Structure 1
Amino acid sequence: MRLPRSAHTRQPWRIHEFAQDFRIEDVWSYRTPGAGPDDFPVMLAALQAARGPQSQSLPTRVLFAIRWKLGALLGWDDPAAGLGTRVPSLRDRLPQDLRDTVRPTDGPGLPLTPVYRTDTECVAEIANRTVHGLMHLGWVALPGGRHELRMAVLVKCNGRLGRLYMAVIAPFRHYVVYPGMTRQFERAWRDRAVPSTG
């Protein structure tokens, strides 16, 4: 379900300390029935286990295939336009206590580079010729002792090209990609490996 930006900004996330120059584009919530306060690592492990293009919906796979083909044709994804070249990684801004919290394989199964992880949030990033983007996953306590996963997408556009790109892809994000991710993420939670109590 899509949420207002305030659903992200009012949470006490560490990301607020060093991503003030990124715009919050989207905030989305995912149902995790039965989740408790300490289940964020369980959710991340479920996402890791369900990673891969085969877990995405067919429309999402088609859109991403088109996007990567366009990126190759137009040079959007050249290494010179990425992290550490066109833009510095967000990792360069991290305080010492967050610097060694992730490995390259700790990401959520998307073409993103992990930045940091805590007990209740993790961040991964991507940069190309259009944008420098962050995906923030956070674990939120709800009334009645329930907990759910939330995702925020934060973006710093690369000039007019980046702003145009974000405007063009907005309907695809909202009506194809994010609903597909909702099904994928919620299925990952339902199908997670539950330790045996026997």
Structure 2
Amino acid sequence: MKLPETAYTAQPWRIHELAPDFAIEDVWALPPQGDAGELPRLVSAIFGNNFPEGAPLVVRFLWNARWKIGKLFGWDEASHGLGASAPSLRDRLPDELRGISTEPEIDIQPFSTVYYLDDEFAAEMANRTVHTVMHLGWIPDGKGAYHGQMTVLVKPNGRLGSIYLAGIAPLRRFLVYPALLRRIDRQWHKQASS
């Protein structure tokens, strides 16, 4: 379910201090609910199980189309990536986060981990169109359970980036996210039964 921006801004996330110059693109409630300490399971439900090959057909199609278009126009060349045209948010980490940041035990390509805490995870990627951050939060519901929340933060790269984000917004909101949310929920329950 899509959430208002305040669902993200009202939380005391560490990402606020690291990415104040990024715009909030989307905030979504994620279907999984669980116990404290299950953020790694959520990260695995999102990135695990052979993504994007294991993703729903519409997501695979759009994902592959995006990378083919990016290759054609040179959007994803290393000269447009993290550390080249976009400094990594890891460069902004305060000392206390540098010491405890860990990588997930799964491959999250094309993203790179910014940090991984008990209740939040941030990963980033950059290309010619945009520098984006996926933030996952694991939020207590006040009744003893926790639920996931995903926020997508963006910094468009010039006019091309703004046009790109506007062009893909309907696809992302009406096709990609609903399909991914169903997949995340299935993966969450599959992990619970194994």
Q: What TM-score, normalized to structure 2?
A: 0.92
**98 and 106 in structure 1: CA distance in 2 versus 1, 3 angstrom threshold:** farther
How many residues are matched? Answer: 193
Q: Give, in whole Å, the separation in 2 of the partners of 1:123 and 1:9.
A: 15
Gaps of 5+ in 2: none
Look up the match of 2:4: 4
Shift in alpha-carbon separation, 1:80–1:59, aligned structure 2, 3 A = same
Query: Any idea what the Cα deviations from partners look like across 1:17-43, whole Å, max 9, x if unmatched?
Result: 11100000000111224x112222332
Q: Secondary structure at the match of 1:29?
A: strand
How has the CA–CA distance of structure 1 residues 45 and 67 changed in structure 2, closer, same or farther, with 3 Å as cutoff?
closer
How big is the shift at 1:92?
A: 0.2
Q: Which residue of 1 aligns with 2:35?
A: 36
Task: Check whether the contact 2:121–2:136 (CA below 8 A) recurs between aligned residues.
Answer: yes
**Residues 136-163 of structure 1 deviation map (CA, whole Å, 9 limit, x = unaligned):** 0110112433311110000001111111
The separation in 2 between residues aligned to 1:17 and 1:23, in whole angstroms, is 13
**CA displacement at 1:193 relative to structure 2:** 4.7
Structure 1 residues 49 and 67: CA distance shift in structure 2, 3 A: closer
Q: Secondary structure at the match of 2:143?
A: helix
Change (3 A) 1:95 1:28: same
Alpha-carbon distance, 1:99 to partner: 1.8
Q: Distance in 2 between matches of 1:98 and 1:51?
A: 29
Q: Residues 45-84 of structure 1 correspond to what in structure 2 (within 5 A)?
A: 45-84=44-83
Unaligned segments of structure 1, at least 5 residues = none
Q: Per the alignment, do residues 72 and 18 of structure 1 end up closer, same or farther by CA in structure 2, a change over 3 Å counting?
A: same
Which residue does 2:87 correspond to in 1?
Answer: 88
Name the SS of the counterpart of 2:169 in structure 1: helix
| CA distance in 2: counterparts of 1:11 and 1:56, whole angstroms | 30
Preserved contact between residue 25 and residue 154 of structure 1 (Cα < 8 Å): yes
Q: Which residue of 2 aligns with 1:139?
A: 138
Question: Aligned pair in 2 of structure 1 residues 106, 122: CA closer, same or farther (>3 Å)?
Answer: farther
Once residues 179 and 185 of structure 2 are traced to their aligned partners in structure 1, the CA distance between those partners, rounded to angstroms, is 10
Identical positions, percent: 46
Deviation at 1:188, TM superposition (A): 1.6
Q: Does the Cα contact within 8 Å between 1:131 and 1:155 map onto a contact in 2?
A: yes
Q: CA deviation at 1:191?
A: 1.0
- C-alpha separation in 1, matches of 2:50 and 2:13: 25
Residue equivalent to 2:26 = 26
Distance (Å, rounded) in 2 between the aligned partners of 1:69 and 1:125: 20
